[in-house]
Structure 1
Amino acid sequence: MAPHRIALLFNANKVYDRQVIAGIGHYLNSTRVEWDLFLEEDFRSRMRDIHQFKGDGVIADFDDPEAAEALRELHIPVVAVGGSYHDPAQYPVGVPYIATDNDRLVRLAYDHLIEQGLSRFAFYGIPATAGSRWAQEREHAFRAIVSAENVEGIVYEGSPTTAGGWGEAVEHLVSWLSDLPKPIGIIAVTDARARQLLQACVIGGVAVPEQVAIVGIDNDPMAQLLNRIPLTSVIQGAEEMGRTAAHVLHQMLRGMDCSTTRVIVPPVGINVQVSSRYQPMRSPHVMRASHYIRQYGCLGIKTEQVADYVGVSRTVLEEHFKRELKQTVHQAILKHKLDTACELIINGDTTLADIAIRCGFTSLQYMYAVFRREYDCTPRQYLELHRKAAAS
């Protein structure tokens, strides 16, 4: 029997779409299903000529406004993947729909910021367009939460991302951040928007997370690589969406009627990083210095450079650090370097020699000596202890 010919209509330049496709692949690898998959060579979703597709089924991203219209007259099984809607009337009729739970994505981010002790909140979204219905749903979820809980909630949609308008957009974003009441927790509609917030905070001298704690959505590795300050992000259940969509299409190909099927997939969890770990600080000098250390602590900075950035003498800064954090500026820099090294060691994607360089240690031997002094173990032993603790 020839394999079924299936079209996957997704824009795999986005981490969400890639994870959905990965979920489809996992389903195929865990079953005896054999599909001949069609994707555009550049992994972009195009509806051109789709009405001429001589295949057996389609799984498509219905966040694309063209998808529902283009596939309406296609007389083969179609499974829709997209964002959830607070209004059930917004779901396409007669098409099985697998959705990410936009309400719970925002709720998870909000609850995390509440747990950090914050009482003011903002949402950084994107301007409304036909293709950003999912973003408007997340904005609606935020407005509903702050309204129900009677807390302060500020919404800013900003400008579309374009090369020509980027300079002006950043100026407006910096101005918005500067005018916000602080401390405040901000939920960004995506990690891409969260990365813009982090950049604007650096430009505007806004301390993260002491003044602004930031949570994104997507857990996008690319966004993490482009930030000096590691980003907290909600992890969507995108792979589960892909597996579910493939399972539903498999059932339809076997003759089952799934036209009324609707599955809302919750988020997997939240990857908590520095950007949201809010700690109240009384001293503005310590707050500003901590922000600088998080950006440049692994680049060999010294106490004098931190004091110059803050705009006070080394003696004054040391007094504030000892009073507020019970440690010296040098100890704070060293702690940042060690925390970064420990995270890289646990991830296991980088050699110890590269970790020593990336974290600002003068040599691998020196990093070993610091680990023995601070943790009474070597970096390799630290990893073994972490694995044992995780397994127990």
Structure 2
Amino acid sequence: MTRKKTQKPQRHEVGFHVALLVETSHEFGREVLRGIRDYEKTLGSHWAFYLQPDGMRQAAPRMGSWPCTGVIARPFTPAVTRLLAASGLPLVLLDPSARHQGHDLSHAQIPYITTDADAIVDMAFGHLQDCGCRGVAFVNTAEETVWSATRERAFTALAARCATPCHVYGTQAKDMTWERDIRALGAWLARLPRGLGVFAATDQRGRHVIEACRETGLRVPDDVVVLGVDNDPLLCELCAPSLSSIAIDAHRAGMEAARILHALMRGETVAPHTRILVQPTHISRRQSTASGFSHDRLVAEARRFMFTHYASSGLQITEIARHCGVSRRLLETRFAMAMRRTLLHELTEVRMERARALLRDSLETVTDIARACGFSDPNYFTKAFRQRHSLSPLKYRERARRGTP
């Protein structure tokens, strides 16, 4: 009797050993890692990864015990960057500060990926203008970061060019506790005029602004509208009201970082100080900028009610008018005069905007998304989505995940 041969377990040939010093507690870092993984999947060989230890502590692998062949890092301090540059390993930086790029590392000529501050600020300022803000403010990160300072400079410069009043809340002392920071931020916001649009440097900082407003008695979005950056779904939904945020194509940042590192590890020449700018992709509008400001309080109330109840498939224009205590004709007339679009157009856009966000950021089926956005008939939703965007919901999801929505 012949014996069956025991099939040996499949072994993956490891091409390179790559250290990833990328903080993963926020959406940006996680999306960067997904981009690196997706690039590695396009290759014929497998990469072995060393992932930064949990938390904000950065530590490179022991080179003697782990054969590192390249590093992708988002360094927190120039000291970490100098250590990595001195190793002589192929290195790509993510969002390095000016000091990381400065004369002390000029000999290293390190390629880097960074976010496009001007494009982020343009998108933020335009959104706050659409909300009808009579002034704007920028809230820095609690601790000093160069990319936050870069966004601040771009934001204040754009506000000056547009002759829009602009206020800035700077970084705080390193020993300031979270409670003291929230109180100080709330006191600062309370001194500013109402009808303000606040742009926070990150989603975490946006959450702090909303908390400070609550502690101070400011209503979001009635007195202040708030916008963050990174579009981290968990952080944005972990506050009340939920936080609107600018999404950044961090997935592409990871893909580009991996592509450049791959070239360096293969001994190819990369142009000195190669810089790739990562663009913002869209704004996920949530409750913190839902209604915006309007000189017509009736219109503002209609928009608030619409954004709060859009998921109800039974929501009709007559119900919105009934809530506002006026006739449908009067509400439609006032709304069209104030917003230059119809109530029905606004309701459909609110629902479609939420549908686009769910298609991009969730794994829910098209049927579930349709119902979550107030469409009782999934077939009608698909037809309406195709008419509005010239492609089906599934095609939109596919393109959005490739970074080409």
How many angstroms does 1:108 deviate by? 1.9
Label 1:225 to 1:388 Cα distance change in 2 as closer, same or farther (>3 A).
same
Per-residue CA shift, 1:186-218, capped at 9, x if unaligned? 110001111222233334343333432222110
Structure 1 distance, partners of 2:353, 2:112, is 42
**Residue number in structure 2 paired with 1:10:** 22
Q: Which amino acid is 1:385 matched to?
A: K
* 1:105 lines up with 2:117 in the alignment: no
Q: 1:224 to 1:125 in 2, by over 3 A?
A: same
- Name the counterpart of 2:261: 249
Q: 1:59 aligns with which of 72, 85, 95?
A: 72
1:27-84 per-residue CA deviation (whole Å, 9 max, x = no partner) reads 1112324311111453765225556553111111134444212213202211111157
- C-alpha contact (below 8 Å) 1:235/1:271 kept by paired residues: yes
Specify the alignment match of 1:227 in structure 2.
Answer: 239
Measure the CA separation in 1 of the matches of 2:217 and 2:298: 12
1:206-261: per-residue Cα shift (whole Å, max 9, x none)? 33334322221101111122133343222222111111111111111121232614
Q: Which moved more, 1:318-327 or 1:192-201?
A: 318-327
Alpha-carbon contact 1:184-1:213 (below 8 Å) kept: yes
Unaligned runs of 5+ in 2: 1-12, 312-321, 335-342, 392-405
In structure 2, C-alpha distance between the alignment counterparts of 1:175 and 1:284, rounded to whole Å: 26
CA distance in 2, matches of 1:358, 1:196: 28
Match of 1:73 among 67, 80, 86: 86
Structure-1 residue corresponding to 2:204: 192
Q: Offset at 1:352?
A: 11
Matches within 5 A, 1:136-285: 136-157=149-170, 159=172, 165-258=177-270, 260-274=272-286, 275-277=288-290, 279-282=292-295
- After superposition, what is the alpha-carbon deviation per residue over 1:315-355, rounded to whole angstroms, capped at 9, x for unaligned? 9984799977889xxxx9xx99x967994798265689999
* 1: CA distance, partners of 2:308 / 2:171: 25
Q: 1:73 to 1:282 in 2, by over 3 A?
A: closer
Matched residue, 2:382: 384
In 2, the alpha carbon distance for the partners of 1:316 and 1:2 equals 64
Determine the structure 1 residue equivalent to 2:31: 19
In 2, Cα distance between equivalents of 1:123 and 1:91: 31
Q: What percent identity do the matched residue pairs reach?
A: 24
Pairing 1:134–2:132 present: no
Give the SS at the match of 2:227: strand
Report the secondary structure of 1:27's partner residue: helix
- Return the letter of the residue paired with 1:378: S
Greater CA drift, 203-212 or 20-29:
203-212
CA-atom RMSD, angstroms? 4.3
Measured after TM superposition, the shift of residue 23 of structure 1 is 0.9
* TM-score normalized by the length of structure 1: 0.72
**Does the 8 Å CA contact 2:291/2:304 hold for their aligned counterparts?**
no
**SS in structure 2 of the partner of residue 37 of structure 1:** strand
SS at match of 2:239: coil
Alignment partners' CA distance in 2, 1:215 and 1:176: 17
Separation in 2, partners of 1:228, 1:167? 18
Compared with structure 1, are the counterparts of its residues 75 and 121 closer, same or farther at alpha carbon in structure 2 (3 Å cutoff)?
Answer: same
1:301 match: none
Change (3 A) 1:173 1:322: farther
Contact 2:143 2:172 in 1 (8 A): no
How many aligned positions are there? 352
Corresponding position of 2:398: none
Is the Cα contact below 8 Å between 1:82 and 1:99 reproduced in 2?
A: yes
**Residues 219, 92 of structure 1: alpha-carbon distance in 2 compared, 3 angstrom cutoff:** farther
TM-aligned CA deviation for residue 87 of structure 1:
11
Aligned to 2:48: 36
Q: Which amino acid aligns with 2:25?
A: N
**Compared with structure 1, are the counterparts of its residues 289 and 387 closer, same or farther at alpha carbon in structure 2 (3 Å cutoff)?**
closer
> Residue 3 of structure 1 aligns to a residue in which SS?
strand
TM-score, normalised by the number of residues in structure 2: 0.70
